[in-house]
Amino acid sequence: MSKEVLIVEDDRALAELLSRALKLAGYRVKLAHDGYAAMEAIERSRPGLVLLDILLPRRDGRSVLAELRKKEATQDLPVIAMSGVLRRPKQARDLEEAGANAFLAKPFQGSELVGLVETFLGPPGSGRREQISLTKTSTAEVVWGAMQRGLSGALHFQVGRKRKALLLVEGKPRGVRSNVVRECLGRRLFEAGRIQREALDESLERSRAGEGRQGEILVRMGAVTRKEVDEALLRQGEDKLLELFSWTEGDVWFEADSEALPLSTPMESCKPEELILRGVQRMGPDTLRRSLLVLKGKQARLDPSGLSEGVQRDPAVERAREALEAAGGRADDLLRQHGAILFGLFVLGALRVEGDQPETKPTGLPDGPIKRAVRTGPVTHAELLETRQHQAEQSHFEVLGLAQGASAAECKSAFFALAKRYHPDRFAGEPEEIRALAGDVFARVSVAHETLSNPTQRQEYLASLKDKGKKEEENEVSQILTAEVQFQKGETLFKKKDYVRALEQFNWALDLNPEEGEYRAMRGWTTYLLNPEDAEACAQAREDLDKAIAVAPRSVTGYYYLGLLLKACAELEQAERMFRKAIELAPGHVEAARELRLFQMRREREKGSPKGSSFLGFGRKKG
């Protein structure tokens, strides 16, 4: 699958910011700024996903979406629709019913965009990773294999358009993400009768407007309590994961460098062994039958003593143990009634069959992070100096010689290896300069070890690493998107001739994005309309319109409104030039064409007018 994203957005500044956010995440990006250009780009080089704005020039996004879904070659092409105007839940549902795979309401965070793109395309470069086929290896074996090895990273599952991801930290589930609409929190609460449709729609709209996650919004609305949301989140996370066990096909790959999953549901209190036993009971009969072939015709022995007390006391486990003992260890007769539990116990290693226990690690899962070798031989002054210089630019993981996401046990082992080499006590008889360098190096190693060994400090540090380099980018994207929304609100108020409120919105938009020429042009003309007789207001309007053209030389709006202002101030030759420039940039600009026709008509009329009459009526004496 191609990892290229085509961004179709007529606001070029916003398109560039979205492009930078996706490129920073590792995706390839192409841009198109209108509907026709989008279709041409898709015909030339099929992208993996299209990020499609709905309100586009020349050909709107709905038309593009309809054509993509009509053509056989593009009917399965993932499309994420976005809009800052069509924001209501019903409008979003209409777009999804028209063929959009997902919808983003502007403004949105860069991390939200990247997370959604990853949901459809997978992590950048994931297609080059070794994959596990679920037709050959069950979800239970894949998940437990990753847990057992204490892996840190993300397991990605995909079948068709359906995608899920499980975040692991040292083998423990910490979050799960799904692109299945019915699994979202609001939908679950609605279907369970906990909230009304109105609350669902409002919370969804406010979430898309950037007010926070849906559960938090529902609590603030008073639709549910905090306790109800926490309980629903717990069930939601587990159900998202348990549903994976029913998959009979699809691919799985592991991404070791994932420290977080945007838009995921937390799973902090998940008990891995109990999860596996609940999961295998979701397996379909064909998958279970295939998985149980390993027990066919074999003598088996059940010893759950190494498992958690909760698993040992599970009534289903107890019944399976008693049945197995009564059958003299022959599992064949028990597979119909106790097959799922027996297979789950086999995966957990509590059910052993005659002969050697087979390897439970599915092909495609790594053994864990690779350590860099610690130097051997005498420690020299040059080595200490070089090490200290490198440490200044390294993360805590790199200081310890580990890949990011290494387990606490690996950090401890690496620390002891480095302590043997760089502990200051080893340099007691060395010159002061050597001892000082060794002290600096070991202090940096100690800080790295202490941070990564403390779970709380480790999570805070991982979060800071994730944010570093992206925080400013995300804030900038969010600021631009918010500015666009405020500008669109201002345009709506302007059309209603509510100039006071419109000016407030344009001011807000410019505060967030001062280099957008369109915003400045609209503010300038609105300023004039509010106080056409005020010389100061006219001067401010002229300044805004001049600057709008300076920062956006192809701004049709800037030229047109400057033309109107110049006409109102009787600067007629300059006004006519502005209207002609607007027509040059946009031949179909109706209003500018009308102004030019008026100039022409009155110029022709003036030929027969008495001497002294004013051109176009401006400055004409009354009475």
Residues 431 and 563 in one domain: no
Same domain, 430 and 393: yes
Asked if the structure places residue 324 within a domain, the reply is yes
> Does 93 fall in a domain?
yes
Q: Are residues 421 and 487 located together in one domain of the fold?
A: no
Q: Assign residue 419 the CATH number of its domain.
A: 1.10.287.110
pTM to 2 decimal places: 0.43
State whether 439 and 491 are in the same domain. Answer: no
Determine, yes or no, domain membership for 175. no
Mean per-residue pLDDT for 4-32? 84
**pLDDT tens-digit series, residues 62-76:** 999 999 999 988 988
Total of domains in the chain: 4
Together in a domain, 417 and 490: no
- pLDDT in the model for residue 81: 92
Nearest to 56 by CA among 15, 18, 22: 15
> 30 with 119, same domain?
yes
Is the distance from CB of 165 to CB of 155 less than 8 angstroms? yes
The answer on 479 and 459 residing in a single domain is no
Does some domain include residue 44? yes
> Both 120 and 1 in a single domain?
yes
Q: How confident is the model at residue 353 (pLDDT cuts 50, 70, 90)?
A: confident
| pLDDT for residue 274 | 87
Asked which of 124, 140, 174 is the last residue of a domain, the reply is 124
Of 444, 466, 488, the position where a domain reaches its end is 466
Q: For the chain, report the end-to-end CA distance as a whole number of angstroms.
A: 78
Domain check: are 76 and 34 in the same one? yes
* Structural domain containing residue 296: 273-353
Judge whether 166 lies within some domain: no
- Confidence band of 38 (pLDDT split at 50, 70, 90): very high
Is residue 45 a part of any domain in this protein? yes
Final residue before a domain boundary, out of 418, 434, 466: 466
pLDDT at 236 over 50: yes
Lowest-pLDDT choice from 218-222, 421-425, 458-462, 606-610: 606-610
The CATH number of the domain where 63 resides is what?
3.40.50.2300
Both 477 and 613 in one domain: the answer is yes
pLDDT in tens, 157-204: 888 767 888 888 878 888 888 776 555 667 767 777 788 888 888 887
Residue-level pLDDT at 422: 87
Residue 415 lies in a domain: yes
Residue 128 binned pLDDT confidence (cut-offs 50, 70, 90): very low
| Residue partners of 51: CB distance under 8 A and separation at least 6 | 5, 6, 7, 8, 9, 18, 80, 82, 113, 117
Lowest mean pLDDT among 124-128, 325-329, 422-426: 124-128
Burial 99-137 (b: 16+ CB within 10 A, else e): bbbbbbbbbbbbbbbbbbbbbbbbbbebeebebbebeeb
Shared-domain flag, residues 612 and 480: yes
We report the CATH number of the domain holding residue 602 as 1.25.40.10
Same domain assignment for residues 119 and 11: yes
